[in-house]
């Protein structure tokens, strides 16, 4: 039976999943890789380690499910920057990860100089260290010889998808897709091109940029030496856009939220690029046959990562699964708020300088109360996004069903609290890891293995729907407490 391979290259691990002809996962392999923290607020990855984990997971997954593979689909952590030497193929520096905040002074200066309205109009994004552009500028300024090589076209920039494709094709293709390009701060999502004005603003030579293709396109062929066969790469999407596809959110007004390291909510706005009044992002949801579908996006930097902090930072749980058990034991008479601004706050606050805080601690506060506050913080942050989307676009809010995916959604406790604090239904699908599913579907559709949009949407199935049980007065009281906690956490910057 013909199969499709999905490569899901995330922030903390790389996964390879083989899907059968009916879009069912038949083999999977996952491998974590090292997180580097060279300074406070700095986060890096070794691109060669990312490639090594890609090789090992794909080979292991294919070993479990031998047979022909019709196509490869790639989904990846977005905004993370890799720059490599075109001749040697070696990175000039570690990858700078999307969470990294080292470029906050640069983006603050550009904001102060009044450049943000222009950038927002062209890219849908804000001047924030989160996005790729300022990271590229930092590397060109701080790596010896990088600028000279960039101006001579001797080095290449890419998000992680571009890096993997370059490696798979043995340097034959330097490409990306529209969804990843849209997150770089360098791509004009209205006109579908790299933007000369922004490149000039950040002093980035166009010679280092990849070619931008549709989400479903011919990205080249993975050479046989890597995975055993020569396999076409036919689908690429940034992780949140891939999850939007995997959740079959194809109609305007459909909303999904993915809970991984961070939390990312995307609202399909069709052919309308909404200019947010509430500091959400306008972005590309996907592009097929040259036609763009837009989305409003809210980005939360810390979601599942707060559970990792409970485990690795505080040591109060031994595994992520223990978090909801501990939270369920919390004293209902205590109301703690944990604002997980470990690397600043994302939408709708966009404050890279504030840091995390816990409010409401008493002498009786213990691990259970802290665990509950940590899990609840994800629900509160989602409510922030939900409210902002409803204010920005008439097709959002008003009880819209939220489709959820990602590892954290396995927690019934967390999903029930999410429905309670939103006051809206939350649908958890049968396939939780829809990011890889979306990438596989795109590649398989391009290969003629999988059906098109309408038939795929019919196959989407809910595993459980969570309905709000909290009364409106309690919901309002708790959310007001959260807003107060956030206000006390925000930095004093203008």
Burial call 199-231: b when 16+ CB within 10 Å, e when fewer:
bebbebbeebbbebbbbbbebbbbeeebbeeeb
- Enclosing H/E stretch for 482: helix 472-489
Structure tokens that stand for 457 in this block = 């949407």
What are the tokens at 53? 């984990």
**CATH H-level, domain 3-239: superfamily:** ATPase, nucleotide binding domain (3.30.420.40)
CATH 3.30.420.40 given to domain 247-429+461-494:
yes
Contact 181, 94 (CB under 8 A): no
- The predicted-structure confidence for 166-220, as pLDDT tens digits, reads as follows 999 999 999 999 999 999 999 999 999 999 999 999 999 999 999 999 999 999 9
Within the chain, which residue ranges are assigned CATH 3.30.420.40? Answer: 3-239, 247-429+461-494
Q: What is the pLDDT of residues 208-254, one digit of tens each?
A: 999 999 999 999 999 999 998 999 999 999 999 999 999 999 988 88
Structural contact between residues 267 and 415, judged by C-beta atoms closer than 8 angstroms: no
Per-block mean pLDDT, blocks of 10 residues, the chain (494 long): 91 92 91 91 94 96 92 95 95 94 93 94 91 96 94 95 97 97 96 96 96 97 94 96 93 88 88 88 94 92 85 85 86 91 84 88 91 93 89 67 86 92 92 88 96 91 92 94 93 58
In terms of Cα–Cα distance, which of 245, 216, 234 is closest to 69? 234
Say what the pLDDT of residue 260 is: 79
Which pLDDT belongs to residue 317?
A: 83
């Amino acid at each position: 039976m013909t199969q499709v391979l999905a490569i899901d290259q995330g922030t903390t691990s790389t996964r390879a999943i083989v899907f059968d002809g009916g879009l069912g996962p038949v083999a999977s392999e996952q491998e974590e890789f090292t997180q580097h923290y060279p300074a406070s607020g700095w986060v890096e990855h070794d691109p060669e380690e990312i490639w090594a984990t890609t090789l090992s997971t794909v080979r292991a997954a294919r070993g479990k499910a031998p047979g022909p593979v019709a196509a490869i689909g790639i989904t990846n952590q977005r905004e993370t920057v890799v720059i490599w030497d075109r001749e040697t193929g070696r990175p000039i520096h570690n990858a700078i990860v999307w969470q990294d905040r080292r470029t906050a002074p640069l983006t603050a200066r550009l904001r102060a100089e009044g450049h943000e309205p222009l950038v927002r109009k062209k890219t849908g994004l804000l001047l924030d260290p989160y996005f790729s552009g300022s990271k590229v500028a930092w590397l060109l300024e701080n790596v010896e010889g990088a600028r000279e090589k960039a101006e001579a076209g001797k080095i290449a920039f890419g998000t992680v998808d571009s890096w993997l494709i370059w490696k798979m094709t043995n340097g034959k293709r330097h490409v990306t897709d529209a969804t990843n390009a849209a997150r770089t701060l360098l791509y004009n999502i209205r006109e579908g091109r790299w933007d000369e004005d922004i490149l000039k603003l950040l002093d980035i030579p166009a010679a280092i940029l990849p070619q931008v293709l549709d989400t479903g396109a011919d990205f080249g062929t993975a050479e046989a030496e890597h995975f055993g066969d020569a396999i076409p790469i036919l689908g690429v999407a940034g992780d949140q856009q891939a999850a939007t596809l995997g959740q079959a959110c194809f109609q305007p007004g459909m909303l999904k939220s993915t809970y991984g390291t961070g939390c990312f909510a995307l609202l399909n706005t069709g052919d309308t690029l909404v200019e947010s009044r509430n500091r959400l992002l306008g972005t590309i949801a996907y592009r097929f046959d040259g036609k763009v579908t837009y989305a409003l996006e809210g980005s939360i930097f810390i979601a599942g990562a707060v559970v990792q902090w409970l485990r690795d930072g505080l040591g109060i749980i031994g595994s992520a699964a223990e978090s909801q058990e501990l939270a369920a034991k919390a004293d209902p008479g205590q109301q703690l708020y944990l604002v997980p601004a470990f690397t600043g706050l994302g939408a709708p606050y966009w404050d890279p300088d504030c840091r995390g805080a816990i409010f409401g601690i008493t002498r009786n506060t213990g691990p259970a109360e802290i665990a509950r506050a940590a899990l609840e913080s994800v629900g509160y942050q989602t409510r922030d996004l939900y409210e902002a989307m409803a204010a920005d676009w008439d097709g959002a809010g008003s009880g819209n069903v939220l489709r959820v995916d990602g590892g954290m959604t396995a927690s019934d406790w967390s999903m029930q609290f999410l429905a309670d604090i939103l006051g809206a239904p939350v649908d958890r699908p049968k396939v939780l890891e829809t990011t890889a599913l979306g990438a596989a579907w795109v590649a398989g559709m391009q290969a003629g293995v999988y059906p098109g949009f309408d038939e795929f949407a019919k196959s989407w199935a809910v595993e459980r729907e969570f309905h709000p049980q909290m009364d409106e007065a309690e919901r309002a009281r708790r959310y007001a407490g959260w807003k107060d906690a956030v206000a006390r956490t925000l930095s004093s910057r203008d």
